[in-house]
Structure 1
Amino acid sequence: MEDLIISKQLKDELAHILAWIQFRGEIQNNESLRRNFRSGYRALFYGPPGTGKSLTVALLGKLTSQPVYRIDLSQIVSKYIGETEKNLSRLLDMAENKDWILFFDEADSLFSKRTEITDSKDKYANQGTSYLLQRLEEFEGLVILATNLRPNIDRAFVRRFQSILYFNLPTIQERERLWENALRNINMAPDINLQRLAEKYEVSGAAISNAIQFAWLNAKKNQRETIQSLDLEAGLIREMSKEGKSVKE
C-alpha cells in the first residue's frame, strides 16, 4: 500500500469501497438493507494515464484477498448486433455470487455515450448501451470501470456509481515520494537531486518508472554501476516528448 502515492481524498474513497467489501455479507443478509441499498457496488476511476488506476484496483484485490479479473474488451465487444450484450451477460452470470472484483479498463469503449438517432446503427448502439446499464446495475458484486476521459462515459452510468475517483497527476511532494520509493534499491550517483526532479518534471508515476528503467539501462550500456542525473533527465525528456509536453526551464 505504501507504493500507492495518492491524495487523502482518494484514500478516503478507497476506504469506503473497502468498507462495502467488508460489510457486503451483512447487507445481503438484511432484508431492510437490501430493499434500500442498490445491488452491488460500482466505482469509476478516471484521470490521466499512468496515475495509478490499475495499481489501485490490484491493491484492492490484495488487501481483501479477492481475485481481480481484468476484462479483455476485445473478447466482449462485437460488431454484430446483440453479441456484445450476450457476451457481457455471460460474463456477469459467471461472476455472480463470487467474491470477484471485475475491472473494465478503458471502459469508455464499452460504456460510451448514447447519441442522437439518425439511422438504425445509432438505434441499436443506444439499445446496447441501455442494456449494459441495466445489466450492470443488477450485478451484486464489485465492478470498477477505468477511463482516461470521464466525459466519454454515458451520464446514465455516472449517476449509478457509488464512488467516482479522480486520479490526478501527482503534486510536487507526491512526485518526490514516488522518486524515493522507485529508487530505493537502485545505485545512484551523488549528483541526483530528487526534489529538483520533482519540481522540474510534471509527470505521472508510470512516467517516473519508465524514466528510471531508461536511466538504468543507459548506465549499463555505458558500463556504469550507478545511474546519474543526466540518465534520469534523458529518460524524463523522452517520456515528456511522448506526450507532447515541454520541459520547464
Structure 2
Amino acid sequence: MNPKFLPKKITSTLTWRQLLINEKEFRLIKKLETRLNKQVLESNKSHLALFHGPPGTGKTLTASLLGKYTGRDVYRVDLFLVISKYIGETEKNLATIFQKLLSKDAILFFDEADAIFGKRTAVRDAHDKFANQEVSYLLQKIENHPGLVIFSVATLKNIDDSFTRRFETIVAFKHLSVMQRSMFKFKNYFRTFIRS
C-alpha cells in the first residue's frame, strides 16, 4: 500500500481560544469534548461526528484540538487518496488503515469524505454497485472502531441523507465576517487582559 494512504497523526500547538467559530457550533464541540473526557462513550461503541464547511474554516484544527484536550491521538485519513478506481482496492486500503488503528484509543478524522459518501443514484453498472459496497464496508469498519470518528466534508448537499442520519454530532463550519473576526479578537484580548 502506498504510504500516502496511511493515517497521519495530527497535532496542534493552538488552543480553543484561537479557533474562529461561532458560539453555537463551539458549544457542540465542547459538549463532544466533555463526553470524551468523561468517557461517556462506551469503549466498544463508535461515536460519529460530521464536520461540514468550506476549506480553511477550522475542521482539521478542531479535530486536533479535541485530541489535545482529551488526551487522545488524532489520525487523519484523506479519503480522496484512499478511493481507487479499481474494484476491490478501496476496501483493501480501508482494511489496512483500520488494521493499523485497531488497538489505538484514537480519534479518526476522515478528511474529504465527499469522495465516498456522495449521493447515490440507482445502480446503473458494476462501478455503481461496487461504490455502494465501499460505503457499506467503511460503515461496517467504523461500527467496530471504539471511540470518536469524525468525517469532514465541504458541503452537506452532496451527502446522501441515509448517511447523514447516522451522525450523532453535526457541526457547521463557516467563514466568519470581518465584524465577527474583530469581535472574536476583542473578546480574546479582553479575557487575556482581565487575567493578567
TM-score, structure 1 as length reference: 0.62
Tell me the distance in 1 between the aligned counterparts of 2:74 and 2:149: 10
Q: How big is the shift at 1:15?
A: 1.7
Tell me the distance in 2 between the aligned counterparts of 1:97 and 1:19: 23
The question of whether the paired residues in 2 share the 8 Å contact of 1:71 and 1:104 is answered with yes
Amino acid paired to 1:108: D
Q: How big is the shift at 1:145?
A: 0.9
Larger radius of gyration: 1
User: Who is 2:66 aligned against?
Assistant: 60
Aligned equivalent of 2:50, options 40, 44, 47: 44
Higher strand share: 2
User: Who is 1:104 aligned against?
Assistant: 110
- Number of equivalenced pairs: 174
Which contiguous aligned blocks of 4+ residues in structure 1 show a shift greater than 6 angstroms?
none
Tell me the distance in 2 between the aligned counterparts of 1:148 and 1:74: 13
The question of whether the paired residues in 2 share the 8 Å contact of 1:43 and 1:161 is answered with yes
User: Relative contact order, CA 8 A, sep 6+: which one is greater?
Assistant: 2
Higher helix share: 1
User: Who is 1:6 aligned against?
Assistant: 21
Find the residue that maps to 2:171 and give its secondary structure. strand
Q: 1:88-127 CA distances to partner (integer Å, 9 max, x unpaired)? A: 1221232234221111111111222222111222112122
Q: 1:161-190 CA distances to partner (integer Å, 9 max, x unpaired)? A: 110001122145422146669xxxxxxxxx
Unaligned runs of 5+ in 1: 29-37, 182-249
> Structure 1 residues 6, 25: CA separation in 2 closer, same or farther (over 3 Å shift)?
closer
Tell me the distance in 2 between the aligned counterparts of 1:116 and 1:14: 36
Q: 1:170-229 CA distances to partner (integer Å, 9 max, x unpaired)? A: 145422146669xxxxxxxxxxxxxxxxxxxxxxxxxxxxxxxxxxxxxxxxxxxxxxxx
Identity fraction in percent: 44
Please say if 1:18 is aligned against 2:24: no
Unaligned runs of 5+ in 2: 1-15, 188-196
TM-score, structure 2 as length reference: 0.77
User: Who is 1:162 aligned against?
Assistant: 168
Aligned 1:24-173 pairs, distance under 5 A? 24=39, 27-28=42-43, 39-73=45-79, 75-173=81-179
Tell me the distance in 1 between the aligned counterparts of 2:53 and 2:177: 14
